[in-house]
Every structure is written in structure tokens, then in C-alpha cells.
Structure 1
Amino acid sequence: MTELVSSTASTKVDAGHGVSFAEAFRVWLRVALLSFGGPAGQIAVMHRIIVDEKRWVSESRFLHALNYCMLLPGPEAQQLATYIGWLMHRTAGGLMAGGLFILPGIIAIMALSWIYVAFGHVWFVEALFFGLKAAVLAIVIQAVVRVGSRALRNNLMIGLAAAAFIAIFFFAVPFPLIIIAAGVIGYLGARAGRPEFAAAGHGSGDNGDRDSALGELLPEHAKPNPRRTVVTALVWLALWLTPVIALVAMLGTESTFSQIALFFSKMAMVTFGGAYAVLAYVGQQAVEHYHWLAPAEMLDGLGMAET
């Protein structure tokens, strides 16, 4: 990665519209190091740095991309970072933004996991993790309020968000149904000409497209290209499935490693709506079906991951 930065730092990448690759590297590393509190905190940090501070993309483009990432399976915050990095600096930018986004978290969770396993039942370590959970909860609440205040622009949108919360929290309505219903309501409202459903116009507001580094038009490499899309999908599909198939072939389906690979591969395909939407499913399977963790250990793991 260092060689990639040094070889590109001396030039301005056209797609970056004046933002050098080296500067982008520093910014994405900063985003990664400050992204506490899970997806809500990560997205709020990205919004503050990428939209408000650096003005790389407009708020409308950021929220538009976030909406699509929420509909995709997988971690929406990393997808959003990868997409913006790709928009700014092509494939290298996407790999850099997506890779840096998870690197500090990998190092931190490995260190915290080792401490937890080795010293988790010592009273001061338990107190430390309890305090971390409380701090993370405050970070998540602040992040939700920050992003929600930008996305929910009128009383009708606030009412839809409240209805979605009631449906999923009190009535356990499946998340995909809530997303589909919200999409249908939004489509019908826009077709009916209701101003509450009007999209934020590009180039409007405090940080419109024309005022952002990316500009009003998509860069050339972001325009539709079916052949490139198919090739990219096949390459990443092979990178995903090859290790899973190799594990199953070498160790068999009864191996814990094979079960982990198969379970999280399946989970990756059903995590619509982001990480929060699938936490209950992961907890249930890991605790009740596979017996990898006890319920208290699952909660401690969530606290560590959010931290």
C-alpha cells in the first residue's frame, strides 16, 4: 500500500478532481481511525469529514449512495467508503478506502479479544468493558441524531421513520418488508407530486454537487459499462468463494472453520439494511445453534466491536 501511495502521490488523478491519492490516503486513514460506534458512528464520521469538511461529494450524492448501500447485502458503511473512494480515484481508490476502513478495526478487535479471553473475568477489566459499552451507546445515539437530522427533512419522513421503528421493534416485521414498503410509499408519493418526497436537487444546499470536488457529473469510469461490471463481479466472486470451497474440501463440513466460513458467507447474502438488521440473527445462530458463545459473551463481543 505504501508503494501504491508513493507512486501516485506526485500526480493528480483526473477522477479525483484535484484531490491527490496521497491526500485521499491520509483522509481515509483518519476516517478509519475515528470510526467508533459501529455503522451509525462510521457513517456520521464519513459525513463530517468527506461532506462537511473536505467537500469531496455533495450531501445529496452522499445520502443517495447511502440509501443504495443500505439496500445491498453486507456492511453498508464499508460499501459507502469503497464507493466514494472508487468515484474519486478509480479502482485503487476503492481498494484503498475499503481496505483502510476495516484495517484499524481488525487490529483493535484482535487485541481486545485477546485481552477478553485472557483477563475478561478480572473485575477491573469487566468494569473497563462496561464503561466502553456505555460510551459507545452515547456515540451511536449522537451519530443517529446527526445523520437522521440531515436525511429526515420533513414531518412526513419523520413519521415514516417512526412507523418503521414501531414495525420492527414492537411487531418484529421482517426488515426487507419494511424497506420494500418504504420504497413503494416513496415512489407513489413522488409520482403524486408530493413535495415531501422530492429528492434534494444536485447543486442545491450548502454543499451542492457543483461546489464539491467531484462536481456535478459522474467521472467517466463511473458511467455504466456492462462488460466491466460482469468481469468485476466474477473476479470478486472467485475471491470470495475459493477460500470457502477450499476449507470445506480440506476439512469437511463438520469443521468449525468450515462452519464459520459457510455461516458468514450465507449471512453476507441476507444482511440487507446493514449490520444492525442482522445482529439478532447472528446472535441467535452463534449462541443457540452453533454454541460458539454464551449469551453474555455475545453481548461483550458486540460491545468490543462497537468500540
Structure 2
Amino acid sequence: MEQNKKYSLRSLVLYFLKLGTIGFGGPVALVGYMHKDLVEDRKWISEEEYREGLALAQLAPGPLAAQLGIYIGFVHYRLLGATLAGFAFVLPSFIMVVLLGIVYKLYGGLSWIQAVFYGVGAAVIGIIALSSYKLTLKSIGRFNVESFKSKWLLWLFFFLAAVITFLTEQEQVLLFIAAGILYMIVKAPPEWWNGKTVNSIVLLQAAFWNYESSTLTEIAIFFAKAGTFVFGSGLAIVPFLHSGVVVDNHWLTEQQFLDSVAVAMITPGPVVITVGFIGYLVNGFLGALVAALATFLPCYLFTIAMAPSFKKIAQNKPVKAFVDGITAAVVGALVGSVIVIARRSIFDIPTVLIAFSSILALLYIKKIQEPYIILIAAVVGIIIKSVII
């Protein structure tokens, strides 16, 4: 990494504060803004440094845009730069979702709020369904004979995770780890591999997450666990959050969970910030703070740990194979969770139409973004509910 700093740390922090405040459009749009602003226009970061950061963000767990921001902070200002850039990027949207959480708690029982989220919930299903399809294309490819022949094991992980998530309505962390290890063994077994190793990993995983504690500690453990398995898109966290928040711990109702995802989509910054809204509903401001910190901590730690020697790590075939295996299972779980949530949220003709209209709008109206669809769906929900009443 070159040491000729073309910008101050203060300038970098202010840039990420601005991006976190006005950066709409999801992870792909956000990483695009960073390239245009920091590589093309300001020339603070070289093309090679940007590509390295993007590759790391795709390889390691963590929300794509936040991880790239942390890496860019690390390029010239190392640990302090990574910390401040990541914090500045997430802070604006965190404040927004907490404020929305306060409003939601105060007025959530009002009929017009319920009407808003009647439409919004259906639109969210459409958006997540399309995102899961795009993630499948990106991670494994189109499902056809040729793809199945060359990537049959990844497709097996995908369908297995989708079916198990649908049937159990829970995230299966051990399944994801097993998928990563098995694919690594088949495609590129590392030198240290032996049968005892996997037994140790599985036992450690099972023991590590088995806790009984207070709500705040439970929130910290659960969201740190979820943040460890977010690959590429913030929406990949949905199956983990849904099973833990709604099914296992009963912290939120199904509708509150959908509302939480919607809130993340209408605010700028990383989609994963939905955890702040969820944390607030569960346990107030401290719950929001703990949930957000725990979710982004794995992303931060992976980035600063891998950044100094990333070129060597990126060429490691066993690491790539492990990530490919986990990613296939995680995307499959996202598909399964979409079916689970849709089964309870798409319950009449208007919600079906809103969901399908959202998908069609994203497919055929090139410049439209998710926040606009959410806002339109909110208005439609109010109109429909007023007519029904």
C-alpha cells in the first residue's frame, strides 16, 4: 500500500459521514459511489487498492459496502482510519433507524401506521425475493443442465439450505459451516486437513453459541453470530434475523420484522442497519446499540485482520472454496426464508399485487430504487385500507 496520503483522515471521515447520510440504493450502489468519488473524481484511492478492497469484501463475511469502507479507511490510515471510516459510515443510518424506532413504538398502534406497513410489508417481500434471485445468479449462476453438472455440489447446498430453512423456520449455522468445509475438502483440501479437525470445529461452534444470559447479552451473542454469516448483500442476514428474532426468541412479531426490513430500505447506508431498529424494539436504545455493534464487529475484525496480507489470502484456493460453499448455503437459506415470511405476509389479492408490482418495477424501470418502491407501497397501503374501512 502506498504511503503518499492525498487526503486527511478528517476528510475521509467527513466523506463517509456524507455517504452514510445520503447514500441510497443498497450495497451495489454504495460501492459504485465509492469508486466514482474516491477513485475517479478525487483520486484518493488507486484502482488497484479499490479492487483489493472489493475482493476482500466479497470474500470475507460482512456487509459489502461497510466492509469496503473499512478497508478504504485502512489503506492509508491503518487501524484508526478503518475504525473511524466504518463508524462514520454506519452512524447516520443508525441514528435514523433509532429515531424511526421511537416513532414506531409510540405510534405503531395507530391505524394509519398499520395501513402504511400493510403495503410496505408486501413490497418488502417482492424486493427480497428479487434480491435472493440476483444473489443466486451472482453466487452460483443460472440453474440449467450445464450449471448443475459443473456446480452440482453448490446447488445441493443451496437447495438443502432452502428446504431446511423452510421446514424448520430456523437458521442452521452448522449447515453453513459444514457446506463450507465439505466444499473446501472436495475442491481444494488444505494441507492441515484431517478428520479430527472438523470434529473440533463443530464442537467449538456448538459450544460457543450455547449461552444462557440476560437479554442484552443474548442480543450481543445473537447479532454477532448473524454478522459472521453475511456474505455480499445485507439481505443475506434476513434468514438469520427472522429465525432468531421471530421464531426462537419471540422478540418481534412477523409484521414487526417485516417493518424492520422496510425501515432499513428507506434509510441510507447499509441495509444491515435494520439490526439497530430491531434492537431498539427489543430493548430500547441500549438494545439498538448492542445489536449494531455486535453485527458490525465481525466485519470490522475480519477486515483489519485480513487487510495487511490480503493478496496472499486471496490466492488461497481452500479459503475461496470454503467461502463458496458457505455462500451457496446462505443464499439457499435466504430463498427459504422468503417463502416462510411470504406465507404469512402475502394473504390477500392487494398484497399479492403489491409484491409482484415491486418485482416488475425493479426489473423493468431501470432508475427506480427500493426506497421509492417502499414509499409508493406505503401510499398504496393507506389508500387500500381507507377503501376497505
Judge same fold: TM > 0.5, yes or no.
Answer: yes
| Residues 10-21 of structure 1: pairs in structure 2 closer than 5 A | 15=3, 17-21=5-9
> What residue in structure 1 maps to residue 77 of structure 2?
89
Matched-pair contact (CA < 8 Å) for 1:73–1:269: yes
Cα deviation digits, residues 156-175 of structure 1 (max 9, x gap): x9795435998787664677
> What residue in structure 2 maps to residue 77 of structure 1?
65
Paired amino acid for 1:81: G
> What residue in structure 2 maps to residue 208 of structure 1?
none
Matched-pair contact (CA < 8 Å) for 1:31–1:49: no
Cα deviation digits, residues 7-48 of structure 1 (max 9, x gap): xxxxxxx83532223332332222111233443443333233
Give the 3 Å change call, closer, same or farther, for CA 97–55 of structure 1 in structure 2: same
Matched-pair contact (CA < 8 Å) for 2:121–2:255: no
Cα deviation digits, residues 45-99 of structure 1 (max 9, x gap): 3233223432333445424322222332333322211110111333332222111
Count of residues paired in the alignment: 218
Query: Shift in Å at residue 111 of structure 1?
Result: 0.4
Give the 3 Å change call, closer, same or farther, for CA 300–41 of structure 1 in structure 2: farther
Query: Shift in Å at residue 294 of structure 1?
Result: 0.8
Give the 3 Å change call, closer, same or farther, for CA 67–99 of structure 1 in structure 2: same
Give me the whole-angstrom Cα distance separating, in 2, the residues matched to 1:268 and 1:31.
22
Which stretch shows the higher mean deviation, 270-279 or 88-97?
A: 270-279
Q: Which runs of 5+ in 1 are unaligned?
A: 1-13, 149-156, 188-251
Partner SS for 2:12: helix
> What residue in structure 2 maps to residue 306 of structure 1?
265
Paired amino acid for 1:102: V
| Residues 173-188 of structure 1: pairs in structure 2 closer than 5 A | 177=179
Are 1:294 and 2:253 counterparts? yes
Cα deviation digits, residues 174-204 of structure 1 (max 9, x gap): 777589979x99x9xxxxxxxxxxxxxxxxx
RMSD over equivalenced CA pairs, Å? 4.2
> What residue in structure 2 maps to residue 281 of structure 1?
240
Query: Shift in Å at residue 296 of structure 1?
Result: 1.1
Query: Shift in Å at residue 264 of structure 1?
Result: 1.8
Partner SS for 1:57: coil
TM-score by length of 1: 0.55
Matched-pair contact (CA < 8 Å) for 1:175–1:277: no
Give the 3 Å change call, closer, same or farther, for CA 41–283 of structure 1 in structure 2: farther
Give me the whole-angstrom Cα distance separating, in 2, the residues matched to 1:17 and 1:161.
40
Matched-pair contact (CA < 8 Å) for 2:17–2:91: no
1:119 to 104, 107, 120: 107
Give me the whole-angstrom Cα distance separating, in 2, the residues matched to 1:256 and 1:115.
23
Q: Which runs of 5+ in 2 are unaligned?
A: 144-150, 163-174, 189-210, 267-389
Paired amino acid for 2:214: S
Give the 3 Å change call, closer, same or farther, for CA 133–259 of structure 1 in structure 2: same
Partner SS for 1:291: coil
Give the 3 Å change call, closer, same or farther, for CA 23–259 of structure 1 in structure 2: closer
| Residues 201-280 of structure 1: pairs in structure 2 closer than 5 A | 253-280=212-239
Partner SS for 2:62: coil
Q: Tell me which protein shows more helix as a share of its residues.
A: 2
Give the 3 Å change call, closer, same or farther, for CA 37–133 of structure 1 in structure 2: farther
Between 1 and 2, higher relative CO (CA 8 Å, sep ≥ 6) is seen in 2
Matched-pair contact (CA < 8 Å) for 1:119–1:125: yes
Matched-pair contact (CA < 8 Å) for 1:70–1:274: no
Partner SS for 1:19: coil
Matched-pair contact (CA < 8 Å) for 1:16–1:89: no
Partner SS for 2:212: coil
2:142 to 142, 145, 162: 162
> What residue in structure 2 maps to residue 107 of structure 1?
95
TM-score by length of 2: 0.45
